[in-house]
Amino acid sequence: MSAAHQRPSHPSSGRPRALDVVNAYVGLMKPRIIELLLLTTVPVMFLAAEGVPGLGVVLATLVGGTLSAGSANALNCVFDADIDQQMRRTRRRPLPRHAVTTRSALVFGLVLGVVSTLWLGFLVNWLSAGLALAANVFYVVGYTMLLKRRTSQNIVWGGAAGCFPALIGWTAVTGELAWPPVVLFLVVFFWTPPHFWALAIRYREDYAAADVPMLPSIAPATVVARKIVAYSYAMVLTSLVLWPLTPTGWFYPTAAVVLGAAFLVEAHRLQARARISSELSVLKPMRLFHWSNAYLALLFVAAAIDPFLR
C-alpha cells in the first residue's frame, strides 16, 4: 500500500479543517444511497402498523439503519478504492482523494457496524439487528469481495443486500417476519438490475477500464435492454402479489398498476432505442435510472398511505 494512499490530503496550513474531515467520513457512508434505503424502510413500518408506528421505534430504526448502511458503504469504499480511483463517477470519493487513510476508513466502517448492531438490538429488537448485520456482511463480503469483480451477475445477487430494509422495517414494528415484507424484498430484488444497469450503461467505459464485468460493459446494449425489460416485468408482477397477501385497499394496487405500466413503457423505450444504436446519446439510459428511483419511492409510499384510505 503506497504512502500516498495512506496520507490524507492537507490544506496549506498542514492541518485538515474539521468540516473537511467530517465531510470525508460522511462521504464514506454514501448518504445518497442511504436515503433510498431509508425510503424503503419507513413506509413498510406504516404498512406493518396498519397506521402510524411509534415515533420512538421509527427514529431508532432510522438511526440504526443509517449507521448499518453507512458501515457497509464505508467498507465497500475500502475494498473498492482501486476501482473508485479509475472511474469518473467515483474518483472524487474520500479514499481516491486521500481525504482519509485506508486504515481510518476501515476502522470507521467496522465501528459503525458494531454500534449499529448494538443500537438496533437494544433499542429496536435483535431480529432487526440481525437482519441489518446480515445485509452488511452480504454487501461487503458477498457483493464487494466475491461477486463484483468475478461475474456479470454481480448486481443481480449482490443487490439483494439492498432489499433488507423492507424486512428490517417490518420486524422493527412487529418483531417477526411475514410474507408481505418478503414480497417487498423481492420487488426491490427485481428492481435493482434495471435500476443499476441503466446507470452502468452510462458508465460502461469506466467499468471496462476498471476490469469490472458489469453487464453493460461486456454485453451489447440490445442484450442489456432485453434483460432490463425481463426484470422489469418480474418486478411489476411481484409488486401486485402484495395485494392478496396484505389487507390493502384500492389505493396500493391501483398505484402499483399505474407505476408499473409507466416503468414498463420506459423500459421498452430503452429497448427500442438500443435496437437503433448503442450510442449513449441515443440510448439515454439515465431516463430509466431516474424514473426507477421515482418508481420505488412512489410504490413504497403508496403502501404506506393505503392503510389510511381503507
Q: Which run of H or of E encompasses 202?
A: helix 179-202
Indicate the SS3 state at residue 175. Answer: coil
Residue 248 amino acid letter? T
Give the CA distances from residue 115 to residues 31, 64, 71, 128, in Å, rounded to whole numbers and listed in that order: 18, 8, 9, 14
Which three cell numbers mark 276? 437503433
pLDDT at position 3 is: 40
Cα-to-chain-centroid distance, residue 26: 17
Q: Spell out where 237-292 has E strands.
A: none
C-alpha torsion sign, points 138, 144, 150, 154: positive
In whole angstroms, what is the distance from residue 44 CA to residue 102 CA? 36
CATH architecture, range 178-309 = Up-down Bundle (1.20)
Domain ranges of the chain: 27-175, 178-309
Q: Which CATH number fits domain 27-175: 1.10.3720.10, 1.10.357.140, 3.40.309.10, 3.30.460.80?
A: 1.10.357.140
In whole angstroms, what is the distance from residue 81 CA to residue 18 CA? 23
**DSSP states along 32-64:** HHHHHHHHHHHHHHHHHHTSPPPHHHHHHHHHH
> What phi-psi label fits residue 108: left (phi over 0), alpha (psi between -120 and 50 degrees) or beta?
alpha
Below-50 pLDDT ranges, the chain? 1-14
CB atoms within 10 A of CB 92: 11
pLDDT at position 72 is: 97
pLDDT at position 37 is: 87
Contact 111, 28 (CB under 8 A): no
pLDDT at position 310 is: 75
Q: Hunting for cell 457512508 — which residue is that?
A: 29
Indicate the SS3 state at residue 119. Answer: helix
pLDDT at position 16 is: 63
pLDDT at position 13 is: 46
Environment class of 165 (CB within 10 Å of its CB; exposed 0-12, middle 13-18, buried 19+): buried
